[in-house]
Amino acid sequence: MGVSPSESVAAVDRGVGLPIPNGWYAVGVSDEVPPGALVSVRYFGREWVVFRTESGQAAVFAAHCPHLGAHFAYGGSVAGEILRCPFHGWEFATSGECRAIPYAKRIPPNARADTLPTVERNGFIFAWWDDGGREPWYEIREVPEAVDPNWSSPDRYEWTVRAHGQELGENGVDSAHFFHVHGTQNIPLTEATEDGAYRHAFSPIEMKTPRGAVKGGIDSRQSGLGFAATRFTGICETLELAVTTPIDADRVHVRYAFIQPRIDGKEPVGGVAGAIIKDIVKQMNEDVPIWENKSYLPRPTLCDGDGPIADFRRWCEQFYPQAG
């Protein structure tokens, strides 16, 4: 097997000049970070630690201690409500404030860890990334089914994709690729509305089944570029919670969590329910090699059969550092 261009060609050579967009991004899955857990992650081109206190509060800190730069995740620990550094034992509250230094009489006033605003929603831990250090200016919309006991526990998938997140988002409005890449009918978008950081798109679809065609739809609601809830209706209602987090300017970590209504209180397994998820995952795997090797054209040559690609790109502009 030859070397794939994605391993050898830098982002800039592939024409990806887009910076890391601002917004809320998932940095962890809630139930994978139990009380007392401390994990190391790399997002937004930097190192971070995600931890959870005994009382259940999740927090995201820059990985290196403001004292002498030790990495919190290499020997550090969560004790009660504080994070303790492994190097000299300084103790930090979730706000980042240093609360105790075991060998000092006075705590220096600027002794605080760098933190990111953090919220937990829809089963994920989200951190707010803003290049200019601005406070969050939108919220991640709640998806009630994500915490509804009548819905299944999530079926999760994840990918690291060497591409910019905007390219992945653009896929949903690129109607013509559905036939060519995924072998499905072109998906016509009948309705797309925007409201600040939120975007809503609906596409009616018709699915062929042994018992004839069934009408359904794909309803997708985005909160910024980091979170989308997509509802597939028709044969078996399926909700896809998708999070896309920049690792750096050219790589994203994508997680899908699928939930479906329980049947008589039981998890839906196999059959049509499983087939829908399998097909969406298959489509993702078909898109990856296109994304990883394509070039980003700021001025593409579009035709009348293309979806609302220009509209989508205009909506994305608000998330870039220069937009504020």
Residues in contact with Fe ion by the rule CB under 5 A: 171, 287
Closest to ligand FES by CB, 42 vs 67, is 67
Q: Residue 84 or 164: which CB sits closer to Fe ion?
A: 164
Q: Which stretch binds ligand FES (CB under 6 A): 30-38, 63-71, 248-256, 273-281?
A: 63-71
62 near ligand FES (CB under 6 A): no
Nearest approach, Cβ of 64 to ligand FES (angstroms)? 8
Is residue 90 at the binding interface for ligand FES, with CB under 6 A as the rule?
yes
Write the CB contacts of 276 (distance below 8 Å, at least 6 apart in sequence): 232, 235, 236, 238
In whole angstroms, how close is the CB of 91 to ligand FES at the nearest point?
Answer: 9
The percent of the chain in helix, strand and coil, each rounded to the nearest 5, is 20, 35, 45
Which of 241, 228, 278, 236 lies closest to 260 in space, CA to CA? 236
Of 45, 54, 68, 206, the residue at the interface with ligand FES (CB under 6 A) is 68
Q: Does 71 bind ligand FES (CB under 6 A)?
A: no
Q: Contacting ligand FES (CB under 6 A), which of 49, 85, 93, 243? A: 85
CA distance 119 to 140: 9
Give the Cβ contact number of residue 290 at 10 Å.
14
What distance in Å separates the CA atoms of residue 112 and residue 61, rounded to the nearest whole number?
10
Question: What single letter denotes the amino acid at residue 225?
Answer: L
Instruction: Name which of ligand FES, Fe ion, none residue 42 binds, using a CB cut-off of 5 to 8 Å depending on partner kind.
Output: none
d(CA 239, CA 233): 9
Binding residues for ligand FES, rule: CB under 6 A, are 65, 67-70, 85, 87-88, 90
